[in-house]
């Protein structure tokens, strides 16, 4: 499975047609048009993932003094060619996994328990997206031999907190679990997952999602479990945490209606031709269907958020190019790009452009900075 979220791109800062001299530098060469060139050196920068990356200041062109020093969002004092290696910010996904006793049953007409059916594709997808998705795990309910919906089975434990390169921990905890829980407190599990994402939001602005995998209806609390659950999912979406819903062999008419409501509340229902007759959650009754559903979900959560380190010196003159085509700035955030931070240190790509970045085999993105009033030429790949 391709990792579409892993988008490594060159961040190129170029001054090709206008004069932009370093206000503090000395000319030490002469270009063909008679102007001076200023050659920079190399410094160390910190990549979004925490490691050091190479930053090289190249040649700033001065064709006669029509440019001047650059200041702006990045506070840079010169134009030049600067190359960076960058990756899209990894999405954060907490897997909320139903381990109630019914998960030990086999789907209709099958022999493999649903619990054994869902774990292999989960292992595959979590491993395959380890670099582009920071995974976490919330199992529900807790304990094995309790009364259905007992308080001790509904606890705010996050079994594997979200972290980078977390695939091995998530898989190990999932494989160690058993489908022997009593009751299905889905709404509380969503609330606990939301609280975990709230905590992470204090220090991380990565895109955040909930992936709910369950084989049936919530039944805790007994009075209005579906209303309680959809309310929790709606609250998570309001905080910026969409929920994807996978129904494992959920084929009863009433259950389909309830899971459809949950998928709609989560803001990421499955795209279908006829919502009246087709499930809007991801229905999976076989391992192959689970693999397909998980692949579609992880593709859609792959990040289109890019840190800009340093920020552009002229925020109004920046080009975002993908596969030889230019992406327009779009303040409406529908189909283009827009800054996500007031200091211009991050941008996000939206709509069809994001989908292309996530899905196309050649997903090279180039972000290039220009001098004031400079036309940034499109480089055809």
- Other Cβ atoms less than 10 A from the Cβ of 339: the count is 19
- Please give the Cα distance from 16 to 112 (Å, whole number): 63
- What pLDDT does residue 323 have? 82
Secondary structure of 164-203 in HEC code, one letter for each residue: CCCHHHHHHHHHHCCCCECCCCHHHHHHHHHHHHHHHHCC
For residues 317 and 329, is the Cβ–Cβ distance under 8 A?
no
The first and second tokens of residue 2, run together, are 């391709």
- What pLDDT does residue 40 have? 33
Of 288, 6, 247, nearest to 128 (Cα)?
Answer: 6
What are the residues whose beta carbons fall under 8 Å from the beta carbon of 365, sequence distance 6 or more?
A: 7, 9, 306, 320, 321, 322, 349, 357
- Please give the Cα distance from 310 to 154 (Å, whole number): 46
For residues 126 and 171, is the Cβ–Cβ distance under 8 A?
yes
For residues 114 and 107, is the Cβ–Cβ distance under 8 A?
yes
- Please give the Cα distance from 44 to 53 (Å, whole number): 6
- What pLDDT does residue 361 have? 57
- What pLDDT does residue 328 have? 95
- What pLDDT does residue 285 have? 86
Task: Provide the pairing of β-strand 91-98 with 208-214.
Answer: parallel
Exposed, middle or buried, 157 (CB in 10 Å: 0-12/13-18/19+)? exposed
Would the pTM of this model clear 0.75, i.e. be above it?
no
Ordered domains of the chain (ranges, CATH): 8-88+304-369 (no CATH), 91-301 (3.40.50.410)
Q: Helix (H, G, I), strand (E, B), or coil: what is residue 248?
A: strand
What stretches in the chain show pLDDT beneath 70?
A: 1-87, 361-364, 381
């Amino acid at each position: 499975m391709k990792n579409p979220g892993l988008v490594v791109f060159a961040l190129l800062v170029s001054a090709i047609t206008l004069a932009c001299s370093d206000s503090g530098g000395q000319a030490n060469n002469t270009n063909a048009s008679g102007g001076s060139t200023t050659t920079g050196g190399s410094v160390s920068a910190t990549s979004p993932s925490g490691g050091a990356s190479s930053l090289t200041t190249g040649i700033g062109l001065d064709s006669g003094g029509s440019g001047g020093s650059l200041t702006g969002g990045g506070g840079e004092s010169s134009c030049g060619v600067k190359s960076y290696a960058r990756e899209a910010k990894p999405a954060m996904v907490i897997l909320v996994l139903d381990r109630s006793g019914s998960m030990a049953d086999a789907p209709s007409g099958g022999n493999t328990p649903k619990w054994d059916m869902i774990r292999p594709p989960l292992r595959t997808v979590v491993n395959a997206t380890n670099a582009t998705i920071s995974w976490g795990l919330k199992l529900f309910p807790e304990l094995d031999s309790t009364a259905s919906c007992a308080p001790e089975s509904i606890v705010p434990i996050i079994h594997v907190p979200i972290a980078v390169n977390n695939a091995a921990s998530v898989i190990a905890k999932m494989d160690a679990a058993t489908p022997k829980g009593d009751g299905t407190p889905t709404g509380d599990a969503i609330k606990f997952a939301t609280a975990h994402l709230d905590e992470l939001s204090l220090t991380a602005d990565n895109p955040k999602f909930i992936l709910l995998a369950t084989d049936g209806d919530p039944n805790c609390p007994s009075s209005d479990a579906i209303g309680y659950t959809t309310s929790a999912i709606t609250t998570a979406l309001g905080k910026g945490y969409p929920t994807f819903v996978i129904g494992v062999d959920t084929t009863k008419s009433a259950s389909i209606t309830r899971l459809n409501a949950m998928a709609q509340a989560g803001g990421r229902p499955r795209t279908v031709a006829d919502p009246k007759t087709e499930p809007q959650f991801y229905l999976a009754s076989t391992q192959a269907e689970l693999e397909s559903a998980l692949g579609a979900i992880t593709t859609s959560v792959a990040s289109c958020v890019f840190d800009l380190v340093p920020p552009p010196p002229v925020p109004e003159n920046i080009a975002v190019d993908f596969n030889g085509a230019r992406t327009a700035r779009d303040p409406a955030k529908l189909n283009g790009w827009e800054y996500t931070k007031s200091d211009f240190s991050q941008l996000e790509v939206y709509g069809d452009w994001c989908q292309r970045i996530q899905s196309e085999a050649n997903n090279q993105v180039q972000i290039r900075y220009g001098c004031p009033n400079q036309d940034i030429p499109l480089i055809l790949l």
